[in-house]
């Protein structure tokens, strides 16, 4: 499984021979100016919630690639009505895709489209691949529901927001990693705006002091599990 960070909450995942894009907010992110969305491969687009900083490039990527948009029922319906392929899910539900098993799990946040349309309830995703399992938290506060995830799935990586103000901060993300029983963390949703700028060295040190590994990737960089 290969995971590429495209800035903010945007990710690329290669698993089971398929390409997945998560929450593509790339073309308007000045920190990701070197990423050309027209070069990104996508069989699926996973959307955690409807905010503009998570769906900006969904239409463009889906139109070019014919990717299946996977999200909650309201978001899937929104894109389905625009003529895109979509797969609706809801909290606690899972589906066996050709890249692995995907589960839609709880997140505490808000969700509405930039045009004011209802975006359903926000969520996160657990991907159980052939060899590795990951949790993509989306935009969320720390929640006790995270304790439920390792009861069903042993995680190899947790992808957690750490920018504070709109989501968890570093300290809450450390607690989240305890709840998730996962000490390997990829941080995201930080530095894009003034509200969510962080001290990288301090964040890494705080995780390290708890015996955990926080990775903060350069935009466009990848890790392999």
Q: Which residues of 80-111 are buried (b: 16+ CB within 10 A; e: fewer)?
A: eeeebebbbbebeebeebebbebbbbbbebeb
Please give the CATH architecture assigned to the domain spanning 1-222: 4-Layer Sandwich (3.60)
Domain boundaries, the chain: 1-222
The pLDDT score that the predictor gives to residue 221 is 98
Section 54-59 average pLDDT: 98
The pLDDT score that the predictor gives to residue 130 is 87
Spatial contact of 60 and 67, defined as CB atoms under 8 Å apart: no
Q: Is 207 helix (H, G, I), strand (E, B) or coil?
A: helix
Section 32-54 average pLDDT: 98
The pLDDT score that the predictor gives to residue 65 is 98
The pTM score is: 0.98
């Amino acid at each position: 499984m290969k995971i590429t960070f495209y800035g903010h909450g945007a990710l690329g995942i290669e698993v089971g021979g398929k390409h997945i894009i998560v929450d593509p907010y790339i073309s308007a992110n000045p920190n990701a100016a070197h990423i050309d969305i027209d070069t990104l491969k996508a069989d699926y687009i996973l959307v955690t919630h409807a905010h503009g900083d998570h769906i900006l490039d969904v239409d463009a990527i889906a139109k070019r690639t014919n990717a299946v948009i996977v999200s909650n029922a309201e978001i899937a319906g929104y894109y389905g009505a625009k003529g895109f392929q979509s797969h609706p899910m809801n909290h606690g539900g899972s589906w066996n895709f050709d890249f692995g098993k995907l589960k839609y799990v709880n997140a505490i946040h808000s969700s509405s489209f930039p045009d004011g349309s209802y975006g359903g309830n926000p969520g996160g995703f657990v991907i159980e691949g052939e060899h590795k399992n990951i949790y993509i938290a989306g935009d969320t506060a720390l929640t006790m529901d995270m304790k439920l995830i390792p009861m069903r799935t042993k995680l190899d990586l947790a992808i957690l927001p750490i920018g504070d103000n709109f989501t968890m901060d570093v300290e809450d993300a450390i607690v989240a990693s305890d709840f998730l029983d996962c000490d390997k963390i990829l941080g995201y949703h930080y530095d894009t705006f003034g509200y969510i700028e962080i001290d990288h060295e301090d964040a890494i040190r705080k995780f390290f002091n708890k015996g955990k590994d926080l990775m903060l990737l350069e935009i466009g960089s990848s890790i392999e599990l």
